Chains A and B, each alone.
Chain A
């Protein structure tokens, strides 16, 4: 350890190149909030509850980053250049933009009120409906699955409908998508409530009827129509040539 320290940068740079105390402070806050947010994210990774749990800590991280990049501190001092872009690695910037991308792709803004940082009414409504369905599932889980399919069908259908509507309105975030996916998987795979394929006979009958029509059509048109005959025309040629051809015909 001591040898490492000895080779590291001991002496400090002249004062104008050092970062100020104010910036140091900002950097420290950034670190704290960053760690909090990442903690939250990892805990909410599976099943996905990112939007529900971490939106407030994300907004706090956003605030501090905004402070670094936009705000001017005491003495008209900006930390933007010194913290964000004074070296090739740009650690602060890269870390933040990674998380920003993650947040954007989660679509969490769609489920969260911008001002209060709480879930929107639509989202809450959906979650409660979903919870009802899940309670229903739990209730019948142990018994016969066909009974579950019958009893929870209406609730499940409602959730599906609601989901479809929200999808169309584009008010969908990753939490809801994930929850819905899990529910759907439960419904179709675990409880096997998918629709059965029980109309094979009528479908086959109708389609084979349609396949049969052209057979009749072609048969009848084949029998009833005769192919057009073409009249051959004899072009007029030089006589000598015709005669030669005649001779050739006779020979062959």
Chain B
């Protein structure tokens, strides 16, 4: 207990006593239910609290009680957990209805289910691939129009004078695209901002992020990505593909769309969190594989970043989805490029092939590669995240627009003042080359880097001949682009961070290669800076996202050269080690800033001394097996507690005496029960009433109506409800002495949402939920505790 650092304890602080607190609603759960009990007048609910000696209660002074109830306000920081986020129910509820259904289902039924899982995975892969194609083609076409317009304009004005007008034209074009994208994101679906990878990560971890897998999010995301990439921001379209894949998966697997109000009456069995999660992880994998042309990398991404659970059959199915997605993208793009059947366009970003002899590396280069991995530029990037004061949508749109304008202005100025002219290569027809003040027949090499979609720039950094860029150009480009990328990250536009980091990395990697070549000019091994660009890109990306296995495989697959596996792995290792020394990965910082109760791979070290008794919430709101409707409605509509799982006990006792546990019931189930008015009295009077099936629960999923929308009359409040059939009769329980890591392992591996803590007579003493576990983390001063906050 001694090594836990608590910045603010829950107990009283002397300087807080002056403030008014009477009218503030009591937010402390331990007080609130007392009121409700008084309201209901009857002792139907009780709070099984405090275990141990009874004399402890007296020591709590009335003033402390009063203060504990008043919310304390602090500025937003990364050491908070938000109450907004709920968990997903990954645990299967084996209640009576479930068993009945299983008994009714034939052997063929199960076979069909298995087959339909495969069909869904194929559909996920196919649709994800199509979305990737759509984004790719639209971006390419619109960017072509945009750059050609600007190019022609610049060409005319270079001769006639008035280049500042071209600058303004460029800025205005950029801004207009970005405004559209930012308005879509800021006003219609704020959750679509950014790459969506942190959100999908949270979803697969078991946190329900509101609106993250909706159709509307997908539409906004796709349009937003197109706008922001065409708008010339320092962003890529790869990250959002992962989110898009996830949304597609969540949509397809449900066989209906709540947004469009269409129910296709298929795949009804999959309408629950467990099944949906499996498909979402397949979707994320399909997204990665479409983005990078890396099916294996996609599967490993799901494994590493996403799922807290895993099974072999699922892996195989996810791989299937990934493969289908890559293949679809490949095929459609081959038709688009008018070479149908030539399947050589895997991935949105094509690194091109690294196969020539000059790109081979020798063993003595490996230490060099490792040294490159150790270089770091990312610390600044995360710092930028912290100082975003802009919250209102219209301001966010303005901010994005300004960034777009500045990006254009900076790029133009760099190009304008660059003296680096290179002769035209014969086959570079897809790149937009600007001549500007270069001699005729030459082009401005700064413009190849800036005046292009980021994907093209990356490829040209990897593959252009040695001598295409001079060191000064590369250095300036790296620096400028780095600041732009930092600034752009966190804007209210949907865009990824993969490509900007690859681009920055490739630029400084190439710079290193050129410098090395100039130092050791005798040896021909140093000749090609392309491989250094690749290594630099890997180091930079690894330093930013901190993925290990999956990123290695993704990069190896994207380059199509297995022999690069070793250096890429070493580089990623080094950059992760060095990076972790300074900062967490970008996605983790993002998750922390969102105050998401995220469960990491393992419980914090040195936490074995914490037991379930200290971790759990107590007292617990329990329900009787046969409970009065009025009580249930009161508990559910209590906005301050907003519990989601209620242990069902044999008989709630008077006072705070714990009662014997016999099951667990969820808020969503109770709401469905109330909606269908499954009351004991009604069942008696109407004998013909249809028995409630599991289907009714599935139909309400995933948007269960709020309790306010369910009307319960005064008479009905006096009815009784029998929960026996619907509750989960065998919830997971632990004794009070269980250590935190043990509880953590249960949560992480089983995807639990509630874990009941019982005493030796199976009486409920507390309830552990995700937020209780996620608040412990290892800080600089040992184990720290995060605060819960309302947002």
CB pair B76–A213 under 8 Å, yes or no, is no
Q: List the B side residues contacting A207 at CB < 8 Å.
A: 167, 409-410, 412-413
A194-B440 contact given A238-B51, A240-B51, A245-B9, CB 8 Å threshold: yes
Chain B nearest CB, measured from A187 CB (Å): 6
CB pair B164–A232 under 8 Å, yes or no, is no
Q: List the B side residues contacting A188 at CB < 8 Å.
A: 439-441
Q: How far is the CA of A251 from the CA of B441 in the complex (A)?
A: 79
Instruction: Indicate whether B162 reaches chain A with its CB closer than 8 angstroms.
Output: yes
A240-B52 contact given A202-B164, A203-B413, A232-B788, CB 8 Å threshold: yes
Instruction: Indicate whether B27 reaches chain A with its CB closer than 8 angstroms.
Output: yes
Q: List the B side residues contacting A244 at CB < 8 Å.
A: 1
Instruction: Indicate whether A115 reaches chain B with its CB closer than 8 angstroms.
Output: no
Instruction: Indicate whether A88 reaches chain B with its CB closer than 8 angstroms.
Output: no
Instruction: Indicate whether A47 reaches chain B with its CB closer than 8 angstroms.
Output: no
CB pair A210–B406 under 8 Å, yes or no, is yes
A230-B789 contact given A210-B405, A217-B398, CB 8 Å threshold: yes
A187-B413 contact given A213-B406, A232-B71, CB 8 Å threshold: no
Q: How far is the CA of A230 from the CA of B296 in the complex (A)?
A: 42
Q: How far is the CA of A242 from the CA of B67 in the complex (A)?
A: 14
Chain B nearest CB, measured from A130 CB (Å): 14
A227-B389 contact given A184-B440, A203-B413, CB 8 Å threshold: yes
Instruction: Indicate whether A243 reaches chain B with its CB closer than 8 angstroms.
Output: yes
Instruction: Indicate whether A16 reaches chain B with its CB closer than 8 angstroms.
Output: no
- Choice from B164, B390, B595, B617 contacting A237 with Cβ under 8 Å: B617
Size category, B interface: 35 or more
B 576-611 to A, binary, CB cutoff 8 A, 1 in contact else 0: 000000000000000000010000000000000000
CB pair A236–B167 under 8 Å, yes or no, is no
Q: List the A side residues contacting B30 at CB < 8 Å.
A: 236
Instruction: Indicate whether B618 reaches chain A with its CB closer than 8 angstroms.
Output: yes
CB pair B439–A239 under 8 Å, yes or no, is no
CB pair B389–A225 under 8 Å, yes or no, is yes
Instruction: Indicate whether B133 reaches chain A with its CB closer than 8 angstroms.
Output: no
- Choice from A160, A195, A218, A232 contacting B437 with Cβ under 8 Å: A195
- Scan residues 216-238 of chain A and give those whose CB is less than 8 A from a CB of chain B: 217-218, 221-222, 225, 227-238
A 156-192 to B, binary, CB cutoff 8 A, 1 in contact else 0: 0000100000000000000000001100110111000
Instruction: Indicate whether B19 reaches chain A with its CB closer than 8 angstroms.
Output: no
Q: List the B side residues contacting A198 at CB < 8 Å.
A: 161
Chain B nearest CB, measured from A234 CB (Å): 5
Q: List the B side residues contacting A229 at CB < 8 Å.
A: 73-76
CB pair A197–B437 under 8 Å, yes or no, is yes
Q: How far is the CA of A211 from the CA of B409 in the complex (A)?
A: 8
CB pair B76–A227 under 8 Å, yes or no, is yes
Q: How far is the CA of A200 from the CA of B437 in the complex (A)?
A: 12
Chain B nearest CB, measured from A190 CB (Å): 10
- Scan residues 488-540 of chain B and give those whose CB is less than 8 A from a CB of chain A: none
CB pair B406–A230 under 8 Å, yes or no, is no
Q: How far is the CA of A236 from the CA of B765 in the complex (A)?
A: 12
CB pair B163–A217 under 8 Å, yes or no, is no
A210-B29 contact given A229-B73, A230-B76, A238-B613, CB 8 Å threshold: no
A199-B161 contact given A206-B168, A225-B391, CB 8 Å threshold: yes
**Residue tally, chain A, CB below 8 Å to B:** 52
Q: List the A side residues contacting B76 at CB < 8 Å.
A: 227-230
Q: How far is the CA of A194 from the CA of B421 in the complex (A)?
A: 13
- Choice from B6, B10, B613 contacting A234 with Cβ under 8 Å: B10
Q: List the A side residues contacting B614 at CB < 8 Å.
A: 237-238, 241
Q: List the A side residues contacting B395 at CB < 8 Å.
A: 221
What residue of chain A has the Cβ atom nearest to residue B31's Cβ? A236
Q: List the A side residues contacting B168 at CB < 8 Å.
A: 206
Q: List the A side residues contacting B788 at CB < 8 Å.
A: 232-235
A232-B412 contact given A184-B440, A203-B164, CB 8 Å threshold: no
- Choice from B405, B412, B439, B766 contacting A185 with Cβ under 8 Å: B439
CB pair B163–A199 under 8 Å, yes or no, is yes
- Scan residues 396-444 of chain B and give those whose CB is less than 8 A from a CB of chain A: 398-399, 402-403, 405-406, 408-410, 412-413, 416, 437-441
Q: How far is the CA of A230 from the CA of B75 in the complex (A)?
A: 6
Instruction: Indicate whether B790 reaches chain A with its CB closer than 8 angstroms.
Output: yes
Q: How far is the CA of A7 from the CA of B564 in the complex (A)?
A: 54
Q: How far is the CA of A213 from the CA of B28 in the complex (A)?
A: 46
Q: List the A side residues contacting B9 at CB < 8 Å.
A: 245-246, 249
Q: List the A side residues contacting B80 at CB < 8 Å.
A: 230
Q: List the B side residues contacting A202 at CB < 8 Å.
A: 162-164
Instruction: Indicate whether A21 reaches chain B with its CB closer than 8 angstroms.
Output: no
A245-B162 contact given A213-B405, A217-B402, CB 8 Å threshold: no
Which A residues form the contact surface with B (CB < 8 A)? Answer: 160, 180-181, 184-185, 187-189, 194-200, 202-207, 210-211, 213-214, 217-218, 221-222, 225, 227-246, 248-249
Closest 9 CB pairs of A and B: A188-B439, A184-B440, A230-B789, A207-B409, A210-B409, A231-B71, A202-B164, A236-B30, A229-B73
A and B contact pairs by CB, cutoff 8 A, 9 listed: A184-B441, A194-B440, A195-B159, A207-B409, A210-B406, A213-B406, A214-B399, A233-B790, A245-B6
Not counting A214-B402, A232-B790, A236-B28, a sample of 12 additional A-B residue pairs whose C-beta atoms are within 8 angstroms of each other reads A184-B441, A185-B441, A199-B164, A213-B402, A225-B392, A228-B76, A230-B789, A235-B771, A237-B616, A240-B52, A242-B11, A249-B9
